[in-house]
Structure 1
Amino acid sequence: MPTVSAAVAALEAAYPPALAQDWDAVGLVCGDPAEPATRIVVAVDPSPAVVEEAIGAGADLLVTHHPLLLRGVHGVPADEPKGSVVHRLVRARVALFAAHTNADAAAPGVSDALADALGVAVEGPLDASSGIGRIGHLPAPESFEAFVARVEQALPTTAWGVRGAGDPARTIARVAVSGGAGDSMLGLVRQAGVDAYVTADLRHHPADEHLQRPGAPALVDVAHWASEHPWCAQAADVLRGALPDATVTVSTLRTDPWTLGAASRNPVKRGTP
């Protein structure tokens, strides 16, 4: 019978904890390693709704990308949001495991899953010093407008939507991607020789300053959750390969925090009134 410890071993082989940033909190959050793991659910966030989904599915283990206890805590009382999740998991005998920045840096990892979802053939990392992000190429060049549509069609729908910054007619052949918040790597993107960069949580000032530089790659901004959701299928495949007797499913819940959005599909030229 597959166990929690066997699932953890498979996940840590694919996403080594040593790759995690020193501020991160990865690994087994709660649960008994010796307990069975016959049903496993994979999700981006360990949110209450996802926990209830896992419990309703009869899961023994919930695997998430985002950690539950990322920042230091001094207790997990049941009347606090994170404490409530811990108590719900323990009472239902569901273990929780997180693979965060170690999954970002692993190869294949979060950005490989994003690139694959977009049809981008990976050539190598965007940040070679930490293995974060990926650089690759499209099957054939296409316009930036078509590329933004490609991203929109490939990722789960969110209220945040998909936003493109650049000339709609610009030709896109080589692409950089980074799951999660990626504006800290805009400098690397400009050195990478790519035509567009897909990431999440781009802020106004870094994006504006980037676009002011001659020849800067076009930008595609998506919801943080949507950029990392393709990883769930990748992690599920890791578990299915290592634990063939376990049932592994990917959460169907959208846990992006934004619930309302309205955006024009018509291109808007920068600087127009």
Structure 2
Amino acid sequence: MDTTPDDQAPDPATPSAGSAPTLQQVVDLAEELWPSGLAEPWDAVGLVAGRRERPVRTVHFAVDPVRAVVEEACDAGADLLITHHPLLLRGVHSVDAAGYKGEIVHRLIESSCGLLTAHTNGDSAVGGVNDVLAGMLGLQDATPLKPAEDGLPHEGLGRLGTLDVGTTLGELAGRLFGLLPAVAGGVRVAGDRDGIVQRVALCGGAGDSLLDVARQAGADVFITADLRHHPASEAREAVRDGRPYLIDVSHFASEWLWLPTAAQALQRALADRGYDVEVVVSGITTDPWDFVLTPGG
């Protein structure tokens, strides 16, 4: 006979210690951490595949939902793969497994592994890609380069902040090189190696759309990825004193830095609610370049 008093009965809404959340509950927590409303209008974020009622015991994080990453997650028995980049960004009319994206969708579904994307919302959120990069460089009083229209004051694309002590462009580039995962492209720099920089603008991933914003903000240097020839050349020609200098890094590397922080934030949020979930960061390098040739190299 149950003799537990009514006022001591367990709350059915409270998870028991060590229980697994549903996919929907993980999606809800992801929405709190990286609100989908922060995503750019052209972006495609949120749940891509998965049954929302299924339990989640293992989550994998990665930058790209490429075949090797999906195989790693599925082979490990992951219930959810969270990637920064979308798998299906543009209109899709078929997921025929003969195509590589269709094959990935089938592999995920057949392995009961969900897929969730946190892209430009993961860039703009507090504690997101740009905050992590700014924090690792030691920027003080960092604010968004492009504030979110309907977000909090510290939400938005890119960051602008100040180093405690000015340093040379060469030293800053070297510091970045040491922080980023090693990839073939390395770090490219435009500007006076010995020029002193202190006011820093940055944008993880492709940020050439913010070149003018960085210049107007009075940045000494702008750090981003995927700088194309013409935008970079025109940005350099448009300024008389050479500033902002430009540092071009790997798109993958600049965003990978966020993964451990994102994984820790999600695991902490799950643990705070009594859930026991293993959260893993993929160690697979998904930068598309394998090697580079340089003069004298």
TM-score, normalised to structure 2's length?
Answer: 0.86
Equivalent positions of 1:98-247 (< 5 A) are 98-130=117-149, 131-212=156-237, 213-215=239-241, 216-244=243-271, 245-247=276-278
Query: Which range moved further: 229-238 or 244-253?
Result: 229-238
2: CA distance, partners of 1:31 / 1:163: 40
Query: Which range moved further: 194-203 or 135-144?
Result: 135-144
Against the structure 1 CA distance between its residues 184 and 12, is the aligned structure 2 distance closer, same or farther, given a 3 Å change threshold?
Answer: same
Q: Is the 8 A contact 1:3 1:37 kept in 2?
A: yes
Equivalent positions of 1:9-48 (< 5 A) are 9-48=28-67
Query: Which range moved further: 85-94 or 242-251?
Result: 242-251
Give percent identity, aligned residues only: 48
Using the TM superposition, give the Cα deviation of residue 57 of structure 1 relative to its aligned residue in structure 2, in angstroms. 2.2
| Structure 1, unaligned runs of 5 or more | 267-273
After superposition, what is the alpha-carbon deviation per residue over 1:166-190, rounded to whole angstroms, capped at 9, x for unaligned?
1011111121110111111110010
Using the TM superposition, give the Cα deviation of residue 108 of structure 1 relative to its aligned residue in structure 2, in angstroms. 2.5
Against the structure 1 CA distance between its residues 265 and 97, is the aligned structure 2 distance closer, same or farther, given a 3 Å change threshold?
Answer: farther
Kindly tell me the number of residue pairs found equivalent between the two proteins. Answer: 266
Secondary structure of the equivalent of 2:71?
A: helix
Q: Match of 1:141, as an amino acid?
A: G
Q: Is the 8 A contact 1:112 1:122 kept in 2?
A: no
Secondary structure of the equivalent of 2:214?
A: helix
Q: Match of 2:291, as an amino acid?
A: L
* Structure 1: 4+ residue segments shifted above 6 A: none
Q: Is the 8 A contact 1:181 1:201 kept in 2?
A: yes
TM-score, normalised to structure 1's length?
Answer: 0.93
Q: Match of 2:178, as an amino acid?
A: Q
Do structure 1's residue 249 and structure 2's residue 280 form an aligned pair? Answer: yes
Using the TM superposition, give the Cα deviation of residue 265 of structure 1 relative to its aligned residue in structure 2, in angstroms. 9.3
Task: Report the aligned-residue RMSD.
Answer: 1.6
2:77 counterpart residue number: 58
Using the TM superposition, give the Cα deviation of residue 133 of structure 1 relative to its aligned residue in structure 2, in angstroms. 0.3
Q: Is the 8 A contact 2:140 2:162 kept in 1?
A: yes
